[in-house]
A and B are shown apart, each in its own frame.
Chain A
Amino acid sequence: MSIGSTTNITQAALRDVQGPLLELTDVRTHFRTPRGLVRAVDGVSFTLERGRSLGIVGESGSGKTILSRSIMGLLPSKGTERSGSIKFAGTEVGNKSRKEMRHIWGKEMAMIFQDPMTSLNPLMRIGDQIAEPLRLHLGMSKADAAATARRLLQDVRIPEPDRRLAQYPHEMSGGMRQRVMIAIAMACGPTALFADEPTTALDVTVQAQILDLLGEQRRERNMSLVLVTHDLGVVAGHTDEIAVMYGGKLVEKAPTKRLFAAMKMPYTEGLLASIPKLEDQSHSRLNVIPGRPPDLVNPPKGCRFAPRCPYASARCNEEEPPLTATQDDPNHSYACWYPVGSPEYHEARARINASAGVN
Chain B
Amino acid sequence: MRYFFQRFLQLLLVFVIVTFVVLVVMRVGSNNAQELAIKLAGRPLKPEESDALIQQYNLDANFISQYLTWLKNLIFHFDLGFSPQAGQSVADLLKPRVWTTVLLGLYANVFGLLIAIPLAVTQAYRRDRPFDKVGSMATFIAVGIPGIVLGVFLKLIFVVQLGWFPSIGDKIYPWDDLHEHFMNFFLPTLTLTIPVAAIYTRLLRADMVMTLQSDFITLASAKGVPPHRVVWKHGLRNSLFSLVTAVGTQLGALIGSAVLVESLFDLDGLGSQLVVSVLSADLFTVQSFVAIIVLIVVVVNLLVDLSYALIDPRIRQARALG
Contact = CB atoms under 8 A, between A and B. Distances in A.
A136 B312 contact: no
Contacts of A104: 224
B238 A118 contact: no
B106 interface: no
Contacts of B312: 122-123
Contact of B222 (A110, A120, A123): A110
Contacts of A102: 221, 224, 226
Contacts of B295: none
B173 to A, nearest CB: 39
Nearest to A115: B215
Nearest to A103: B224
Interface residues of B, number: 22
Which 8 residue pairs across A and B have the least CB separation, nearest first? A106-B224, A106-B223, A105-B224, A118-B215, A119-B215, A133-B223, A111-B222, A121-B216
A113 interface: yes
Interface string B183-227: 000000000000000000000000000000011101111111111
A115 B224 CA distance: 20
29 contacts: A98-B221, A98-B227, A105-B221, A105-B223, A106-B223, A107-B224, A110-B223, A111-B222, A113-B215, A113-B219, A118-B215, A119-B219, A120-B219, A121-B216, A121-B234, A122-B312, A122-B313, A122-B314, A123-B237, A123-B311, A123-B312, A132-B220, A132-B223, A133-B223, A136-B225, A137-B224, A171-B317, A184-B219, A184-B223
A124 interface: yes
Nearest to A74: B222
Given A78-B128, A102-B224, 6 more contacts: A72-B222, A98-B227, A120-B216, A123-B312, A133-B225, A184-B219
A74 B314 contact: no
A255 to B, nearest CB: 29
A74 B219 CA distance: 10
Contacts of A120: 216, 219
Contacts of A124: 234
A171 to B, nearest CB: 8
A184 B215 CA distance: 14
Interface of B: 128, 214-216, 218-227, 234, 237-238, 311-314, 317
Nearest to B218: A74
Contacts of B237: 123
B215 A133 contact: no
Nearest to B314: A170
Nearest to A72: B222
Interface string A108-150: 0011010100111111100000001100110000000000000
Secondary structure call for the B interface: helix
A31 interface: no
Contacts of B311: 123
A124 B224 CA distance: 17
A155 to B, nearest CB: 17
A188 B223 CA distance: 9
B136 to A, nearest CB: 17
B216 A122 contact: yes
Contacts of A118: 214-216
B58 to A, nearest CB: 52
A10 to B, nearest CB: 12
Contact of B225 (A74, A132, A188): A132
Contacts of A260: none
Contacts of A103: 224
A321 B93 CA distance: 90
A345 interface: no
A105 B222 contact: yes
B223 A74 contact: no
Nearest to A104: B224
Contacts of A111: 219, 222
Residue from B215, B224, B225, B227 whose CB has the most chain A CB atoms within 10 Å: B224
B215 A168 contact: no
B290 to A, nearest CB: 38
Given A118-B214, A122-B238, A136 B224 contact: yes
